Structure formats: structure tokens, C-alpha cells
A and B are shown apart, each in its own frame.
Chain A
Amino acid sequence: MSGHSNFPEWVYIGVVVALLCWVGAEAWNVERIVEHIPEDAELIKVTGQQWFWTFEHEDGTKRIGELRVEAGKAYRFEITSKDVIHSFNIHDYVVLLDAVPGRVNTVWFAPMEAGEHDIQCREYCGLIHYNMRGKLIVEEAA
């Protein structure tokens, strides 16, 4: 269209593209920081199955439905499933990752204070899904 300026449209497009780039970069950066596992993180193997969680520590200790950790230490969870897809969630620590049969997914966290927190399956996995819970017990550092 003659005599019509496209300048405002280009400003609009520029602002939108710049904002999208900023949003993407911020999210990517936080994801990179959060997924960066500390070298001294202790391994805990987490196995989900209908309808309970099993936790296996590096020293071979196994517990069902109860996870005991120490405050001030980092822990790396290797999460898998024996039957259907589950999702391992410690709501209070914003830990959430799917447990998929035949696949090991990794997430880490470092509890700072002693306390008790809920663990819950967050992927509908059958009749007793609602009760596929566990307890995270964070103890004072020894």
C-alpha cells in the first residue's frame, strides 16, 4: 500500500522476537544450572512400581516408601520403573521426574534443613496411584 509506513509493525515484531529470545535464554540458563549435578552428589536409585517406591543407597541399603538423607549433602536420583510409567515427585523440593520402564532418568537435589516431606507419584499409574506415596526424612548432618 503506497504511503503506508510499516515501521510500527517492525518495532512490534522486534520487541516480540527480543522478548521471546530473552524468555528462551533465561529458561535455558536456569535449566542448565539446575541440571548441573555436583561431583560429590551421592547416588540413590529410585524404582517405582505399582504402587510403591524403593530407594537404594550407594552402600546397598534399601528402603521401601521411606527415603532418609542428610541435610547439606547433594543427592543424585537415578529413577526408573519396573512396570508402568510413574513420576517421582518431592513437592517441597520441586523434584519431579518420570520413572519410565527401561530408562534411567536423573535428577538431583540438596536438602538444606532437617524435616519431613511427602513423596508422591504424579503420573496416573493405576488403581492405587493416589496412595503411591513415600516419606522423605531429612536428618541433621552427622
Chain B
Amino acid sequence: MTPRATPLAILALVLSIPALPALAATEPGEYLDRRAEIWNLFFRMMTVAFTIGTVVSGTIVWLCLRFRESNPKAAPTRYEEAGEW
């Protein structure tokens, strides 16, 4: 996809979202326990949220520790070595 087409594709996707209900099934719904459906969705979303939160915060903590100046493994970048930055 060309760089110019990407925003257009995103825009098309966003604009098509309001049309989604029209694609939903038209036959009558079945009895269900909305408590179970809604709380199950909530727990699934929380599982995703906490997993992502753990990965992102873990990555940040690792980055901060690994690339701190006082780390014995720390080495100057080639730009720092060359005195360019």
C-alpha cells in the first residue's frame, strides 16, 4: 500500500463503521443472560488490557535498566563514539 493510500484506507474503514449494524443478522434474537455476556466481555478485555500493560511497562523498565549509563554493559553508540552527537 502506498503511503498516500494508507490514510485513505483508514478513513474508509472509519466511515464504514456506522454501516455495520445493517450487516447484522436480521432474524430475531435468542434469549440470553446479558449479565453473563457483558461481564464475560469485560473479563476478556481486562485480560487483554493487563497483558498489554504488563508487556509495555515491562519493556520500559527493561529499557531503562539496560540502557542506563551506569550499566556495565553500556557502550556508546557509534554516533557518540564519533563525537557526532
Contact = CB atoms under 8 A, between A and B. Distances in A.
Given A36-B28, A39-B28, A109 B34 contact: yes
Interface residues of A, number: 24
Interface residues on B, range: 20 to 34
A27 interface: yes
A26 B41 contact: yes
A74 B28 CA distance: 12
Interface string B46-57: 001000100000
Contacts of B45: 23, 26-27
A138 interface: no
B76 interface: no
Contacts of B44: 26
B82 to A, nearest CB: 14
B39 A94 contact: yes
Contacts, number: 53
Contacts of B38: 30, 34, 94
Contact of B48 (A19, A28, A95): A19
A33 B20 contact: no
B32 A110 contact: yes
B29 interface: yes
Interface in A59-78: 74
Interface of A: 19, 22-23, 26-28, 30, 32-40, 74, 92-95, 109-110, 112
Q: Lowest 6 A-B CB distances belong to which pairs?
A: A36-B29, A39-B28, A30-B41, A110-B31, A94-B35, A94-B38
